[in-house]
Structure 1
C-alpha cells in the first residue's frame, strides 16, 4: 500500500483574513503596474498593455522640465520654493479646512490645541502635508483596497494629531483668541490666502 499523505487540518479562513488577502493582491497588482511603467519609461514594451497605454499609444512621453524641477513623487513641502510651495499650500489648506477641521477636530482645549493660523507653523504644515498625501493615496480605490481608510486613520491621522494637538506641540503657545507671534513665518503664506482689512 502506497503512503498516502495525511489530510491537512480542516479549518475555515476568517472573512476578514480573506478580505485582507484581496487587499494585498490589489496593492501588489497596483505596485507591479507602477514598477512596470517606471522600468519601461512609459513606452510600450513586451507583454500586456495597460489600459492607460491604449489612450496614449503612439504619443511621445511627456518631457520633464529641462532644469529638472519636476518631481516624480510629491516632495517634502518645506523644501519647495515659490510658486510650487504656494500651490501645494493652497491644496493643503483646502483639504485641512474642508475635510480635516470639520470632520475630525473637536473644539480646541488645553489638551487638544488647534491654531486657526496653523499654516504659519512649519511643523504643522509639514505634518499635515504628509497626512494629506497619505490620505490621497489611501482613499484612492485603485490602490488602497478595503483597508486603505483604516490604515490612514491608524498610521497617519492619529499619530499626526497626537503630535500636533498636545500642549507641548507646535500650537502650545496659541490660545483660543491669540496666536503666538514667535511661530510666524512672514511671507510664507500665498497672497491669495491673506485677508486684507477693508
Structure 2
C-alpha cells in the first residue's frame, strides 16, 4: 500500500474557508428573508390605477419629487421646510462651524431673508442628512460632507462678494442681484 501523500494546508486557509462559509450562510439567510418579504407584498400584474399606470409607477414618480428645492416650494410647505432648516442652521451649523463674522468671513443673523443663502444652506442640509447616516453612506460620509458640501457652501456664503456683502455688524441689507435679461427659454414669447 502506497504512503499517503503529505498535504500540508496552511492554517489560514481553513480560517478563510470558514469565513466564506459564514458569509454564504448570511447571504442565503438575507435572500430568504427578502424573498419572503416580497411574497407578502403581492401586486397583481394587471392591476392599474385610475390613471392607467401600474401601481409601482406612481410610487417611483413620487420618490423623484423629493427632496424639494426649497425656493420652488409654496406656503405652507416652504414655511415648514424653512422652519426645519432654521433649526439645523441655528442648532448645528452656527455653534459648530461659524466663528465671529469679519470682513473676510461674513455672516448675517437674518440669513433666512437672503434667498441665495436659504438655497445654499438648504442644499448643504439635505446633503448633511444623507451623509451623516452610516447606514446609507458608511463612515466616510461626514468627511465627504465637509469636503464637498460644507466648505464650498461656507466659502460662497461668507465671501466678501457673497449674499451677505451688504450686511455688517448692526446693519442688514439684502442685495438682490437679478440678471438684466432672462434667458429666452424662460420668457414667454408674444405672438
TM-score for both structures, normalised by structure 1: 0.59
Give 3-state SS (helix, strand or coil) of 2:160's partner.
coil
Answering whether residue 137 of structure 2 is matched by residue 159 of structure 1, we say no
Q: Distance in 1 between matches of 2:106 and 2:42?
A: 51
1:132-188 deviation digits (Å, cap 9, x = unpaired): 0000000011111111000000000000001000110000000011101555xxxxx
Q: 1:102 aligns with which of 77, 83, 95?
A: 95
Bigger radius of gyration: 2
Q: How many matched pairs? A: 134
SS of residue matched to 2:120 = helix
- Could you tell me how far apart the structure 1 residues matched to 2:173 and 2:106 are? 13
User: In 2 relative to 1, CA 160–79 (structure 1 residues): closer, same or farther, beyond 3 Å?
Assistant: same
> Aligned to 1:116, which of 100, 109, 112?
109
Find out whether 1:138 has 2:101 as its counterpart.
Answer: no
Offset at residue 73 of structure 1 (A): 2.1
Structure 1: any 5+ residue segments left out of the alignment? 1-46, 184-198
Q: Measure the CA separation in 1 of the matches of 2:174 and 2:128.
A: 30
User: Equivalent of 2:164, from 162, 166, 171?
Assistant: 171
Question: Within 5 A, what are the aligned runs for 1:1-198?
Answer: 49-50=33-34, 54=37, 57-58=40-41, 72-182=65-175
Distance in 1, matches of 2:65 and 2:116, equals 24
Q: Which has the higher contact order (CA 8 A, sep 6+)?
A: 1
* Structural RMSD (CA): 3.0
2-side partners of 1:137 and 1:92: how far apart?
15
> 2-side partners of 1:93 and 1:181: how far apart?
18
TM-score, normalised relative to structure 2: 0.61
